[in-house]
Amino acid sequence: KISLLVLSHGKVANGMAEVANKILGETHAVGLEMDFSDSPEYMFEKTSNLVKQINQGKGCIILADMGSLLEMENKITERTGIEVKIVGNVYTLMVIECLRKVLYTSDSLLKIIDDLKNLKI
């Protein structure tokens, strides 16, 4: 399966991942929160390590809130050898929809990313 990681500044990502997992009865979505004292370099290291840990062989979608968390896509792919795509301005419904697509469709990583970018609420 495609891995799903939610990133945020402050204590937001774990909650969004938990809601999506609970609604769909799964534990697949993972949250990672950037402490306000963390540097972008430290968060890059944490994110790269977590992507390697949760990888299931089909790439990783990262849903992030803003800023430096949106700028790691190529660096993580280069570091890990895992295809990573990042979508910004994450919100809970986006996490739920992404998790649903990852778990219950055979859509490719790029198709899911395209659908998320066009998601209307």
Give the bridge partners for 62, in sequence order.
Answer: 5, 86
- pTM equals 0.95
Maximum pairwise Cα distance, the chain: 39
CB neighbour burial string for 81-97, b if at least 16 within 10 angstroms, e if fewer: ebbbbbbeebebebbbb
Neighbouring CB atoms inside 10 A of 116's CB total 18
How many angstroms from the chain centroid is the CA of residue 92? 12
| pLDDT for the residue 37 | 94
Confidence of residue 112 (pLDDT cuts 50, 70, 90): very high
Token code pair at residue 92: 């809970």
Average pLDDT, the chain: 96
pLDDT of 25-55, one tens digit each? 999 999 999 999 999 999 999 999 999 999 9
How far apart are the C-alpha atoms of 99 and 27, rounded to whole Å?
Answer: 10
